[in-house]
Amino acid sequence: MFDNKEVLVTGGLGFIGSNLCIKLVELGARVTIIDNMLPRQGGNLFNIRDIADRVTVNVSDVRNQLSMNHLVKGKDYIFHLAGQVNHVDSMKNPLQDLEINCTGTLVLLEALRHHNRDAGVIFAGTRGEYGSSVKLPVDEDHPTNPKGIYAVTNLTAEKMVLVYDDVYKIRGVCLRITNTYGPRHQMAHDEYGVFNWFIRKALDDEEIPVFGDGRILRDFLYVEDLVDSMLKVAAADEAYGKVFNVGTGVPVSFFDLAEKIVAIAGTGRTKFTEFTRERKEVEPGDYYADITRIVRTTGWRPVTTLDDGIARTIDFYRKHRKEYW
Ligand SMILES: NC(=O)c1ccc[n+]([C@@H]2O[C@H](COP(=O)([O-])OP(=O)(O)OC[C@H]3O[C@@H](n4cnc5c(N)ncnc54)[C@H](O)[C@@H]3O)[C@@H](O)[C@H]2O)c1
């Protein structure tokens, strides 16, 4: 399916993007990455070390219209993962969030409108678009009441992709992705991607700070399963023009997660901590996904158990510790 296909991955030096690029190269795709190495995010050249001689890397910004006009030409698929992902920064510096997540997406779509209407666009949005759950599990018809600017800009970018699909027939599919973990995530700070932060704390034999009573439920997805879902929606004609949840559907509390990480790592310990104000403001509460739609449309299902995913992630960071902090 992807053999000899031309693929552009925005944000391809980051966590999800690099794992996706590794898989695409394995499948024979010709991969181009655009990433601006935004400070305090996950961009890391080490992430693509094993495929560096088989991908083209363009260190540029998705907001740059001239770069994007050039980069979309001749591409079969565009996986749009470049984003401002730091939840804390999105509240401190909302205009940057707006510019990267909304203007960046619109620049990409305009490049496609003028230079390539045949590519399929796969947009990586977030389960945060729903805000606080009014029923569980959350399906795609659940109301969207984002709690933070990051989630607002993701929802807006999603709508832009759907409008270009509808009006200009630039095929787009939008994912609302749950909390994802695994190798190649930044671990320098805890402002997004708290799962990997828990792993860092355990590896350093430190206390893992669990906010409140630790009973908030989340749906944790291993990155290889997410990559597989992205490839499956890209390959399914009937997926375009639609929104899909991507998750496991299995709820796990932060406390149980921390305890599991400690047990598998054999180091670290759990400690209850008060919420910081910044955290509390954007905390939507319990979430786990109803994944019926993506399963029915593409046949995708997550296959990695939480225990396996944690063990594989710990193994990766034990080997490559110095590259991630
Ligand atoms: N990790 C998750 O749990 C999760 C969940 C839901 C949605 N997402 C979405 O998936 C996408 C990728 O997230 P990630 O976890 O891999 O984060 P990440 O920080 O590891 O990767 C994002 C990459 O985008 C790059 N980038 C940021 N702004 C850019 C710009 N203007 N131009 C070019 N590149 C830019 C960064 O340098 C970074 O390498 C994001 O859009 C995020 O909102 C992630």
108 lines ligand 1 (CB under 6 A): no
* Residue 221 CA, closest ligand 1 atom number: 3
Length of the chain: 325
* Residue 83 CA, closest ligand 1 atom number: 41
User: Can you list the domains of the chain with their CATH numbers?
Assistant: 6-182+220-247+290-304 (3.40.50.720), 194-216+251-286+308-323 (3.90.25.10)
Distance CA 148, CA 140 (A): 19
151 lines ligand 1 (CB under 6 A): no
Task: Report CA(237)–ligand 1 centroid distance (Å).
Answer: 25
Name which residue sits closest to atom 43 of ligand 1, judged by CA.
Answer: 85
What secondary structure letter does DSSP report for 102? Answer: I
Nearest Cα to 150, choosing from 71, 87, 231? 87
| pLDDT per residue as tens digits for the range 160-208 | 999 999 999 999 999 999 999 999 999 988 888 889 999 999 999 999 9
Distance CA 261, CA 323 (A): 21
Amino acid at 72: V
Q: What's this model's pTM, rounded to 2 decimal places?
A: 0.97
Residue 41 pLDDT grade (very low, low, confident, very high; cuts 50, 70, 90): very high
Nearest Cα to 223, choosing from 248, 198, 202? 248
Task: Report CA(26)–ligand 1 centroid distance (Å).
Answer: 22
> Which of the listed residues 13, 37, 38 should we mutate to test ligand 1's pocket, taking the one with most ligand atoms within 8 A of CB?
38
Amino acid at 49: R
Q: Quick one: average pLDDT of 283-302?
A: 95
What is the torsion angle, in degrees rounded to the nearest 10, for the CA atoms of residue 227, residue 229, residue 230 and residue 233?
A: 160
| pLDDT per residue as tens digits for the range 107-150 | 999 999 999 999 999 999 999 999 999 999 999 999 999 998 99
